[in-house]
Amino acid sequence: MKQIIMDVLDDMSNSNLGQLNLASTTTREMIANAIIAVIKTKRGWTLDLSKYNSEPKFDTLEYKKTEEQKIEDSWTCDICGKSTYDVDYDYLVHPKLHLGCALEEEAKGKTIKEQYLEASEKYFKDDLPEGLKRAKKLSRGAMKDGTRREKNWSQKNHEVKVFDDND
């Protein structure tokens, strides 16, 4: 906390504001607002001003995560442990798996499909109802066997329209 305040004061002393008059209410309010703005942007630090025995507690500083920060914290790579939250989707195999990490694991013999399925199992472990678990199990078996389902009438009709060479 002290470092945050010192950083704000350093920034203000290095700015083009000139010499600040600390006797001025406006200057003190400007400094306080700048410190609060930095505290709010430093990943959820808040000052607990609740009362204890009818007296305010001004000395308690606690860390409270917002919902977005909780979501961001859940986006971590299962292999390297680093955040995947700000990574472009082109570089992710799964929200919990970097493409680079998956490629390194593939070089060790584990296919990307297997890694994706494992990451999905961990990601959705509590959210899958029984029917979806069964479907996942069947699709996993089909992927291992290399079997694919047969195309329906609409899919076959579409392929004839798109890929028919009898023009």
1-34, pLDDT tens digit by residue?
A: 677 778 778 877 777 777 778 888 888 888 888 8
Cα 32 to Cα 9, 24, 25, distances in angstroms? 10, 12, 10
Mean pLDDT, range 38-53, rounded to an integer = 58
Among candidates 105, 138, 135, which has minimal Cα distance to 119?
A: 105
Q: Is 109 left (phi over 0), alpha (psi -120 to 50) or beta?
A: left
Q: Which residues pair with 46 in a beta bridge?
A: 62
Question: d(Cα 133, Cα 127) in Å, to the nearest integer?
Answer: 10
